[in-house]
């Protein structure tokens, strides 16, 4: 697979994001960078703050402090409407599809096209078909099928197609394969990859390391509300990601390769110690892993892209 295009300007860049619920600080000084044409996996243990971060990005939660940059411009995102206007769409785990409506009706739900007062069914059907064809989706037999008759993978596909229908630039997928079997997972991951190959920025929340290594270009790890690493997927091993998720650090890696330097030259970011990175969590009693970047090719899972 060819390397995805890397743009000098991130599509989305968050700086110093803090978010508390009452006395509980859930996000601390979070930096997060997302590039167009790439899949960024957002990983972290239960309660690490992934959903909260996504809800801040999508305008559901206001942040307490921090900066929000989109396509190189400082922006304010105070509501889901603001996020949608920028081209940010989130596909949540519940998919928010209506079983008793067909695929076209679901894709345009709440944003129906009309000619005067009359629904423009032909245009909506055509746009839905074009969107699915653009994503090379061939698993859906009829656009007029009720969503209740679709498999889990097909439902996920419809939800993703719905998200990209609106000239989206960033699509955030919350555990899109969590409820799927092996074959459907593979199909959805292919679709995720295609979104990025079509130039979209994709953020994939996942607890499944096989999915993360199969499809992502970069991995961002949250630990107790802090962004402890953003690295290229090819620069980290499965075991190191698990260590970041469970301990908040791992040894020998440049943990900021993704958020500061879009330079595709892998040597240009080497040599930074995790302990030097602002926001890196040092966990007392956790040994620094005896690994270095030279070892990172030796992924024991063999699952790196």
Ligand X SMILES: Nc1ncnc2c1ncn2[C@@H]1O[C@H](COP(=O)(O)OP(=O)(O)OP(=O)(O)O)[C@@H](O)[C@H]1O
Residues lying near ligand X in the complex (CB under 6 A) are found at 21, 24, 26, 44, 46-52
Query: Between residues 55 and 146, which has the closer beta carbon with respect to ligand X?
Result: 55
Instruction: State in angstroms the smallest separation of the CB of 132 from ligand X.
Output: 29
Instruction: State in angstroms the smallest separation of the CB of 47 from ligand X.
Output: 4
Instruction: State in angstroms the smallest separation of the CB of 245 from ligand X.
Output: 10
Instruction: State in angstroms the smallest separation of the CB of 108 from ligand X.
Output: 29
Instruction: State in angstroms the smallest separation of the CB of 202 from ligand X.
Output: 18
Radius of gyration, alpha carbons of the chain: 20
Query: Between residues 158 and 222, which has the closer beta carbon with respect to ligand X?
Result: 222
Query: Between residues 105 and 216, which has the closer beta carbon with respect to ligand X?
Result: 216
Instruction: State in angstroms the smallest separation of the CB of 227 from ligand X.
Output: 12
Query: Between residues 129 and 178, which has the closer beta carbon with respect to ligand X?
Result: 178
Query: Between residues 2 and 46, which has the closer beta carbon with respect to ligand X?
Result: 46
Query: Between residues 46 and 100, which has the closer beta carbon with respect to ligand X?
Result: 46
């Amino acid at each position: 697979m060819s390397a995805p295009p890397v743009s000098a300007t991130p599509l989305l860049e968050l700086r110093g994001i803090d978010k508390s619920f009452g006395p509980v600080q859930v996000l601390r000084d979070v930096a997060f960078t997302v590039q167009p044409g790439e899949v960024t996996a957002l990983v972290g243990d239960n309660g690490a703050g992934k959903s909260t971060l996504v809800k801040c990005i999508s305008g559901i939660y206001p942040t307490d402090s921090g900066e929000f940059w989109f396509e190189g411009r400082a922006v304010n995102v105070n509501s889901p409407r603001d996020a949608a206007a920028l081209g940010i769409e989130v596909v949540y785990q519940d998919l928010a599809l209506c079983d008793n409506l067909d695929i076209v009706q679901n894709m345009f739900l709440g944003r129906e096209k009309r000619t005067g007062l009359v629904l423009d069914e032909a245009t909506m059907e055509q746009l839905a078909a074009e969107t699915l064809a653009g994503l090379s989706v061939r698993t859906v037999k009829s656009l007029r099928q009720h969503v209740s008759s679709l498999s889990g993978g097909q439902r996920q596909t419809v939800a993703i197609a719905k998200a990209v229908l609106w000239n989206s630039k960033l699509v955030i997928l919350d555990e899109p394969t969590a409820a799927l079997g092996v074959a459907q997972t593979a199909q959805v991951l292919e679709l995720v990859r295609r979104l990025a190959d079509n130039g979209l920025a994709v953020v994939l929340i996942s607890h499944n390391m096989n999915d993360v290594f199969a499809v992502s270009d970069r991995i961002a790890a949250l630990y107790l509300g802090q962004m402890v690493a953003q690295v290229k997927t090819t620069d980290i091993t499965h075991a190191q990601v698990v260590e970041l998720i469970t301990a908040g650090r791992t040894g020998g890696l440049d943990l900021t390769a993704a958020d500061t330097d879009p330079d595709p030259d892998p040597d240009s970011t080497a040599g930074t110690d995790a302990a030097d990175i602002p926001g890196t969590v040092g966990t007392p009693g956790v040994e620094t892993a005896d690994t270095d970047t030279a070892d990172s090719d030796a992924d024991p899972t063999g699952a790196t892209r």
